């Protein structure tokens, strides 16, 4: 049994006659009859009754046709995938990002990419930076964005963006009137902190220790987006990448610069020893373009 025999059988069943199937397939009618006979011999049962030159399917032929229909649906999907690979280099793209960049840069970049490639399937996950690294290093994902605190073994890493960390606070907070927030301003303030392993958290704690001050930590989280949500709800203030805070500025959140400055550094990760497909390369191009467009909006 081979694919050509199945194709001929499918054509006869779908169209109804061997002669018409031969026309559609652009082969002779004897070639159609031969292919069907060879298929019957291979599978061990008759697919058609042959009465006065006409072919009508047997009960077994109808059952077999149901299975063939399922297989043909899969073949159609494969043809579509092949067309996408031909046109774009891949029919799908898998992207992972740290949470801090998942609320602004990523949605805009994905929208721009989808506009250019509407038929490319997109998988996106917001993860911890260490998990983003694992997904890219293992080859499960094509591209990732992560904080620079991760171990870079097993990935190809490129600098993405550096942003000066800002202090997010609820509107009406006592510190909202300050143009710049300094360490002493945070002493005893209700504070939503990043996880202890976060580079920004460690740098902030070193600064607080140098100035002999200590905010009142009311909540810890590994995600800047969670800090913004909690600040927006009025739980306290927190240290965030200003890019993460942009979607919240129309709500109950205000941003102020923090001095001395702390940089939030991010990396673009790719699987090692694998040249990006055209789809991945185009997504990276859109990502860089969007990041440049919104850079001015996050200067605080």
pLDDT of the residue at 70: 81
pLDDT of the residue at 86: 67
pLDDT of the residue at 170: 96
Residue finishing a domain among 70, 88, 106:
88
Average pLDDT, the chain: 88
- Alpha helices (runs of H) in the chain, residue ranges in sequence order: 3-15, 18-25, 29-43, 59-88, 105-116, 129-137, 199-210, 224-232, 242-245, 278-295
DSSP 36: H
Say if residue 18 is in the same domain as residue 57: yes
Rounded to whole angstroms, the Cα distance separating 295 from 162 reads: 10
Say if residue 23 is in the same domain as residue 61: yes
Residue finishing a domain among 31, 61, 88:
88
Residue finishing a domain among 88, 121, 138:
88
Rounded to whole angstroms, the Cα distance separating 289 from 257 reads: 25
230-258: pLDDT as tens digits: 999 999 999 998 888 888 888 899 999 99
Say if residue 139 is in the same domain as residue 276: yes
DSSP 189: -
Say if residue 17 is in the same domain as residue 76: yes
What is the distance in angstroms between the CA of the first residue and the CA of the last residue of the chain? 69
For 216-255, b/e burial (b = at least 16 CB within 10 A) is: eeeeebbbbbbbbbbbbeebbbbbbbbbbbbebbeeebbb
Distance (Å) of CA 25 to CA 57, 121, 281: 19, 32, 39
Say if residue 278 is in the same domain as residue 144: yes
- Out of 16-20, 107-111, 145-149, 272-276, the most confident range is 107-111
3 state DSSP class of 124: strand
Residue 239's domain spans which residues?
Answer: 166-261
Say if residue 170 is in the same domain as residue 225: yes
The torsion angles phi and psi of 248, rounded to 5 degrees, stand at -95, -5
Rounded to whole angstroms, the Cα distance separating 32 from 292 reads: 61
User: Parallel, antiparallel, or unpaired: how do β-strands 156-164 and 121-127 relate?
Assistant: unpaired
Rounded to whole angstroms, the Cα distance separating 137 from 152 reads: 9
Mean pLDDT of 1-23: 87
Say if residue 177 is in the same domain as residue 254: yes
Report the CATH number that the domain containing residue 62 is assigned in CATH: 1.10.10.10
pLDDT band of 84, cuts 50, 70, 90: low
Which residue is associated with the tokens 């009406």? 172
Rounded to whole angstroms, the Cα distance separating 85 from 93 reads: 11
Report the CATH number that the domain containing residue 106 is assigned in CATH: 3.40.190.10
Distance (Å) of CA 110 to CA 8, 33, 156: 43, 52, 22
Mean pLDDT of 131-147: 93
Q: Is 26 exposed, middle or buried (0-12, 13-18, 19+ CB in 10 A)?
A: exposed
32-57: pLDDT as tens digits: 899 999 999 998 999 999 887 788 88
| Closest of 292, 288, 229, 271 to residue 100, by C-alpha | 229
DSSP states of 194-260 = E-TT-HHHHHHHHHHHHTT---EEEEEES-HHHHHHHHHTTS-EEEE-HHHHGGGTTTTEEEEEBSS
DSSP 152: -
Say if residue 182 is in the same domain as residue 252: yes
Say if residue 67 is in the same domain as residue 185: no
Total domains present in the chain:
3
Say if residue 153 is in the same domain as residue 227: no
195-232: pLDDT as tens digits: 888 888 999 999 999 999 999 999 999 888 899 999 99
Say if residue 227 is in the same domain as residue 182: yes
Say if residue 177 is in the same domain as residue 227: yes
């Amino acid at each position: 049994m081979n694919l050509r025999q199945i194709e001929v059988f499918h054509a006869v069943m779908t169209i109804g006659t061997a002669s018409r199937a031969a026309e559609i397939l652009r082969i002779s009618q004897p070639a159609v009859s031969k292919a069907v006979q060879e298929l019957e011999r291979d599978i061990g049962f008759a697919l058609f009754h042959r009465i006065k030159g006409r072919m009508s399917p047997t009960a077994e032929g109808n059952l077999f046709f149901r299975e063939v229909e399922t297989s043909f649906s899969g073949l159609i999907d494969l043809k579509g995938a092949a067309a996408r690979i031909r046109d774009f280099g891949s029919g799908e793209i898998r992207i992972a990002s740290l949470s801090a960049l998942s609320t602004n840069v990523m949605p805009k970049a994905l929208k721009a990419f989808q506009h250019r490639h509407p038929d490319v399937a997109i998988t996106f996950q917001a993860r911890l930076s260490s998990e983003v690294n694992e997904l890219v290093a293992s080859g499960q994902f094509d591209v990732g964005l992560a904080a620079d605190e991760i171990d870079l073994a097993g990935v190809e890493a490129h600098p993405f963006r550096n942003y000066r960390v800002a202090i997010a606070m609820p509107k009406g907070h006592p510190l909202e009137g300050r143009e710049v927030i300094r360490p002493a301003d945070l002493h005893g303030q209700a504070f939503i902190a990043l996880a202890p392993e976060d580079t920004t958290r460690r740098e902030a704690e070193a600064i607080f220790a140098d100035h002999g001050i200590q905010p009142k930590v009311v909540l810890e989280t590994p995600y800047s987006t969670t800090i913004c949500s909690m600040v927006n709800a009025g739980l306290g203030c927190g240290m965030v990448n200003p890019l993460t805070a942009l979607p919240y500025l129309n709500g109950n959140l205000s941003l102020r610069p923090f001095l001395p400055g702390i940089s939030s550094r991010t990396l673009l990760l790719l699987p090692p020893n694998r040249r990006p497909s055209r789809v991945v390369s185009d997504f990276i191009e859109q990502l860089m373009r969007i990041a440049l467009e919104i850079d001015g909006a996050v200067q605080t």
